[in-house]
Structure 1
């Protein structure tokens, strides 16, 4: 078993990779890995950005899908989750001091690992919170990233017991009053398939449960008030027209039409006002598009393959 990456039931570590730790902002240890394609000439490198509470192991299947298509994959665990350092000692809550710390870690990863050790051109494929970070940082990524694919971008909240505005007010007040490291919920998120809202695929759901059952150190629980406050502030930033106008990287937005966490209407509106963006809807899919049933994943992978060809392919940009 790899000393840095962890195999689990039905989830072997992909071959032909190197992994390590990078020192992020403030000395936080960030776990990363780069997976090489077995093809003679790589078509480029996908920088794969996870969602909240995820880890590199959850994406082994997707990594194999991408390397089989001639792409290298470079990825890392966000600070506070997966195999990276936790930010609250002895606490499994999902926490971050500032979303700009995520952006700083991504910049450092690109500079220290991707640029010297991976293959051009570079693309971003991001899920949920990873897509939110990518959107936030995109104006400064134009000279390094050719194209972006953002799956279920976390740009608004849905399926909550109170409105996004009320959640924002409460999270902000809790943060200001020194309760930013507290969570609004106790215990762990639900772990049974019938009540889950993120995927319709039971096999992949159970596989992902096995990852954290066999390696509990990779798991985290609910987000803290400060995490929510930072996320909601970043959502407000990235959906402003002045910010979107500054993004010139051709971007493909993948929207799961049965997403119970991110409202379909919000992603549709973003696509309409985002000049560099184009939208593909995956009809019937739930939030975790890369963990969904084959009939949905096939559409996602086909869209990625069409949108991010290598440097030797024709320009099929869907950009502005």
Structure 2
């Protein structure tokens, strides 16, 4: 599926689309950009749940301006990658190992053969947790990682992780893993109003995301299934063991949003303390999607990124 361009959100120049096949036979969409002039390496943008490449055009452009090649892909079950359920708008995996397969296939098929080193990762939310899981097994995968609002525990909008894990596990044992949680439904695009949204305080960037969904509804994903929630809880439970953080050998900067209600800023702070070569900053006032926030908050993000990633000079 071709990348969609929009009047106020055009595809950055030079996009090269690719198809990636995972070890378990799932087709993923990927894209690569190369800037003009001397290359400083490659930044791999790793999305959160329910996101697509189109959402990150602005970020791609900002990285190209910094002299980095950029590579990204859509997770299985979202964006323009393959979906396995009859209802394609359900967000679903049975285990986060599936996401690790996606990331490894992207590394082997796109990053290593087609992109210049050194390799850096810029991951959001669910993507941050998957990158941490992979980093334990492949400590040479990336030179550095920048994780924005990584999913290490649920935020204030959700019941406790223990309750969700127990309930989702019980429903999954009853064969209901592909179903949506009780009371959940897939909202239509027109229902997603800006007021009270937990993702961003920037109305222009919020509307830009909605415009993508209206123009390409097939890219969108709704609520996660019970099995997805159970898989996420198991992955977060594993990450909550202090030994997990201590085993990561890739220098990592974790950036938390001060007003995050989707994931827990406290869990991010705790995890960063447990890392041997990790650090954390908090952007006050920011909601969950820091990269889609207002310019002053994004400015703080880019200042931290530029100070952490070698060769980045803004």
TM-score normalised by structure 1 residue count: 0.93
How far apart are residue 161 of structure 1 and its match?
A: 5.1
The partner residue of 1:145 within 138, 142, 147 is 142
* Residue 136, structure 1, aligned to residue 133, structure 2: yes
Detail structure 1 runs of 4+ shifted over 3 Å in the superposition: none
- Secondary structure at the residue paired with 1:25? coil
Q: 1:268 maps to what in 2?
A: 269
Q: 1:99 maps to what in 2?
A: 96
CA RMSD of aligned residues (A): 1.5
- Secondary structure at the residue paired with 1:208? helix
Distance 1:58 1:207 in 2: 8
Q: 1:236 maps to what in 2?
A: 237
Matches within 5 A, 1:73-92: 73-92=70-89
Q: 1:212 maps to what in 2?
A: 213
Unaligned runs of 5+ in 1: 315-320
Q: 2:14 maps to what in 1?
A: 16
How far apart are residue 202 of structure 1 and its match?
A: 0.2
Pairs aligned (count): 309
Cα deviation code 1:138-197 (max 9, x no counterpart): 112322310000000110012235322111111111112110001110131750001211
Q: 2:199 maps to what in 1?
A: 198
Q: 1:259 maps to what in 2?
A: 260
The partner residue of 1:183 within 170, 180, 185 is 180
Paired residues of 1:9 and 1:207 also in contact (CA < 8 A): no
Distance change in 2, residues 1:49/1:201 (3 Å): same
How far apart are residue 9 of structure 1 and its match?
A: 4.2
Paired residues of 2:34 and 2:64 also in contact (CA < 8 A): yes
* Residue 296, structure 1, aligned to residue 297, structure 2: yes
Matches within 5 A, 1:274-285: 274-285=275-286
Unaligned runs of 5+ in 2: none
- Secondary structure at the residue paired with 1:150? strand
TM-score normalised by structure 2 residue count: 0.95
- Secondary structure at the residue paired with 1:170? helix
Paired residues of 2:151 and 2:264 also in contact (CA < 8 A): no
* Residue 48, structure 1, aligned to residue 45, structure 2: yes
